[in-house]
Structure 1
Amino acid sequence: MKATYFLANFLITSLSIMVGLSLSKLARPAIPAIAHHFGTKGRYEEVNPHLLDDILFVNKSLVAPPSPDCRAIHMVSVIRHGTRYPTTKNVKKIARLFELVVSHASGSASWLNDIKTWKMWYTEDMDGRLVEKGRDDHRHLAMRLAQSFPTLISEDHLRANRIEFITSSKHRCVDSVKAFQEGLHRLWDVQDMDYKHYVDDSLMRFFDHCERFVESVEKNKTALKEVERFKSSAEMDAVRRKISSRLQIPYSQFTPGNLAFYISGQFV
């Protein structure tokens, strides 16, 4: 699975400026308990639960220099895009799964009624675009990084163009890098500067331009043989049978190549 990123390249001069932040105590977000079972990448809140109580929390002991004589002179951050909608391909798969359950599932369980009365609100035009949570991911990350590395990430360096932002052309990455800069602008109340970034797919999506990767991985049907083994494994077969039993839908409707991955996390 390919991930897309943007790059923040932080350069330092001889200046040493400490930035004081007023940490905001935000209300704990209403996140369903089942949320951590989904998604291919861990949320920042999963890695650092303190962020649920204080979204700008920083454990300064983790970013302290190894010696009092050390000082930060350069920083490169490779940052994945924020939380996004499913891609068009996956929206179509979710829609087919939903229609299958609505049309064929039977039983009196309350959870089944909840599923059948749920409104399928994903639309194909969402196509992996950033959601507001994804923008917040990067606004808040920018503020936390500024607190963690105040000599590298400062208003003076931002205004002097010593902080460079590079992104791929993917809309979710461009929107993420804009949100990151928005976080810095909000932090320092910068109102007289526009956002600035560079698009460089040869760097940020190098795999699209790597002939060896394209030929030996993307066009190679054996490159994902472990995935194929998993789809035909006894474990996957057990999941399909359990789902079939719980929804009372024929086992044959759940093939390992289409719906099983999307439904197993919800009904196992």
Structure 2
Amino acid sequence: MAAPRTPLPLVLLLVSAALLAAAPLSPAAETGAAAFDVRRHLSTVTRYDVARGSNSVSSAPSMSDECRVIHLNLVARHGTRAPTKKRIKELDRLAVRLKALIDEAKQGPESDSLKKIPSWMKGWESPWKGRVKGGELVSEGEEELYNLAIRVKERFQGLFDEEYHPDVYSIRATQVPRASASAVAFGLGLLSGKGKLGPVKNRAFSVLSESRASDICLRFFDSCETYKDYRKRKEPDVEKQKEPILEHVTSALVNRYHLNFTPKDVSSLWFLCKQEASLMNITNQACQLFNEAEVYFLEWTDDLEGFVLKGYGESINYRMGLPLLKDVVQSMEEAIVAKEENHPDGTYEKARLRFAHAETVVPFSCLLGLFLEGSDFAKIQREESLDIPPVPPQGRNWKGSVVAPFAGNNMLALYQCPGKTDGGKISRDQKSSYFVQVIHNEAPVSMPGCGNKDFCPFEEFKEKIVEPHLKHDYDALCKIRPVAREEPSSFSSRMSNFFLGLFSQKGYRVSAQDVKSEL
């Protein structure tokens, strides 16, 4: 049996006790689902079909049958990918580490402890052993985008009746191969049967890309020095906030399997679980090491990281996406002008389809005000800090498996309605009313900035959702600024206050200073 672990610091013990007290007794306690499926709890490593199947966000259509879609914007993440080179090396190191832990256990005095070691762990090697390249789109990812395109074509049938032209159906991707490959897979599904190539009558199509160094529309995070500076400063802070949960899970696994795991081991095992479940549909190996409550908490640590470093944790995370938001609005304005001036079909753009990354989709969702809690939309309009996502077993809107799974996407459909309807604000003596519908992972969502309506008048969409962001300028936002001393409302302070309140509810006595020093 592994040697007893060094006693955890007092605050860490209190955190562990609080987590145990808060742990749900069953998955139904958090999700209301009939059966627990770890594949639904893999944060941004979740497969698209799994995420779409568990998407509880829905809205009944409220538009007149006389309205028709005239333009579509799509912002999509690449499909399911293989582990990156860095992660492949981590799994190779994990294999060496597991062998060492098992060898250590064999030398212990209690032979019965060996029976607790999962059989798959003995002699385990990484499925990606020997790979020197990684991060590419896998076949499952190709299918995700191909099938998405077929459903989009069926959903907006009248929009894609035109003969293909790159100026009518613009397809864009970043220069990262998995993003451009996703664009190709989508294009194959969208244009299947539209050409003369091969038995399925494919046709060639154009995918546009900009240099990584200058692509501020889809890779704005690469060029934003302010964001890179913020992330560099915050990453250690986030890791510190995750420590109590990792320590808690580590202690549980040591007692359960009699192997002397470290938090680093547990982090790698959780990553292995996500890769096995997502890419290989294997849930009875690494994933089975954790019980349901531990999966909920580990998922939360991933979601916390995404929230702080990519989402609402700091306004620079999404303000830097302004070039993309402007591009989306401009494309809709051009479509409206074409309709108002009676341009013939085939002479103006009908769809702008973009394929990028989680770092693109998440900020764009934030700019639209999606996945907020309660009155948070008013807070982001005032650029106030938001609270971190609620800890399990409390429910939360911010879940990586919903916000940005593999192939996760936002579609903005622009509708033209005859006449000047009561809900539509008209500008420039327009003949028609125009409405925007936001569709996330193929489910219509209500917009907090538009009175929680699912169809928002275009002028109101610009006024309430877009214009508050336009007071900023990308070039001004993204230059490096001096690091200011953190105020009491900083992320670290909010985390400390959260745990302090949690301990108080459980009857523990601990000072804020103690929490801060340990977290």
Same fold (TM over 0.5): yes
Does 2:83 match 1:73?
Answer: no
For the 8 Å contact 1:82–1:137, the answer to whether it is kept is yes
- Matches of 2:39 and 2:140, distance apart in 1: 14
Q: Judging changes above 3 Å, is the alpha-carbon distance between structure 1 residues 205 and 261 closer, same or farther for their aligned structure 2 residues?
A: same
1:241 partner letter? S
- Matches of 1:119 and 1:41, distance apart in 2: 21
Residue of structure 2 aligned with 1:95, choices 92, 97, 104:
92
Considering only aligned residues, what root-mean-square deviation do their CA atoms show, in Å? 2.9
1:96 Cα deviation after fit: 1.4
Secondary structure in 2 matching 1:79: strand
1:193-229 superposed Cα distances (whole Å, 9 cap, x missing partner):
32311113411111111122122x233x235523322
State the match for 1:176 in structure 2.
182
For the 8 Å contact 1:101–1:247, the answer to whether it is kept is no
- Matches of 1:195 and 1:184, distance apart in 2: 10
1:40-78 superposed Cα distances (whole Å, 9 cap, x missing partner):
24433223439xxxxxxxxxx969571122111111100
- Matches of 1:160 and 1:173, distance apart in 2: 18
Residue of structure 2 aligned with 1:153, choices 160, 165, 180:
160
For the 8 Å contact 2:39–2:46, the answer to whether it is kept is no
State the match for 1:134 in structure 2.
141
Residue of structure 1 aligned with 2:226, choices 207, 212, 223:
212
1:197 partner letter? V
For the 8 Å contact 2:85–2:134, the answer to whether it is kept is yes
Does 2:122 match 1:122?
Answer: no
Q: Judging changes above 3 Å, is the alpha-carbon distance between structure 1 residues 222 and 185 closer, same or farther for their aligned structure 2 residues?
A: closer
State the match for 1:38 in structure 2.
42
1:95 partner letter? D
For the 8 Å contact 1:169–1:199, the answer to whether it is kept is yes
1:137-195 superposed Cα distances (whole Å, 9 cap, x missing partner):
111000000001112233x3424641111111111101110111111233546526323
After TM superposition, the structure 1 = structure 2 runs for residues 44-59 of structure 1, keeping only pairs within 5 Å, are 44-49=48-53
After TM superposition, the structure 1 = structure 2 runs for residues 240-259 of structure 1, keeping only pairs within 5 Å, are 240-251=250-261, 254-255=262-263, 258-259=264-265
Secondary structure in 2 matching 1:102: helix
Secondary structure in 1 matching 2:160: coil
Q: Judging changes above 3 Å, is the alpha-carbon distance between structure 1 residues 63 and 157 closer, same or farther for their aligned structure 2 residues?
A: farther
1:241 Cα deviation after fit: 1.2
1:169 partner letter? Q
- Matches of 2:88 and 2:173, distance apart in 1: 25
- Matches of 2:260 and 2:123, distance apart in 1: 21
Q: TM-score, normalised by structure 2?
A: 0.38
Q: Judging changes above 3 Å, is the alpha-carbon distance between structure 1 residues 114 and 37 closer, same or farther for their aligned structure 2 residues?
A: farther
Secondary structure in 1 matching 2:126: coil
- Matches of 1:224 and 1:63, distance apart in 2: 43
Does 2:197 match 1:197?
Answer: no
Greater radius of gyration (CA): 2
Q: Judging changes above 3 Å, is the alpha-carbon distance between structure 1 residues 149 and 224 closer, same or farther for their aligned structure 2 residues?
A: farther
State the match for 2:238 in structure 1.
226
1:14-42 superposed Cα distances (whole Å, 9 cap, x missing partner):
xxxxxxxxxxxxxxxxxxx6433435244
Identity percentage over the alignment? 22
2:239 partner letter? V
Q: Identify unmatched segments of 5+ residues in structure 1.
A: 1-32, 51-60
2:234 partner letter? T
State the match for 1:85 in structure 2.
82
For the 8 Å contact 1:82–1:130, the answer to whether it is kept is yes
Q: TM-score, normalised by structure 1?
A: 0.70
Does 2:101 match 1:104?
Answer: yes
Secondary structure in 2 matching 1:94: helix
Q: Judging changes above 3 Å, is the alpha-carbon distance between structure 1 residues 193 and 82 closer, same or farther for their aligned structure 2 residues?
A: same
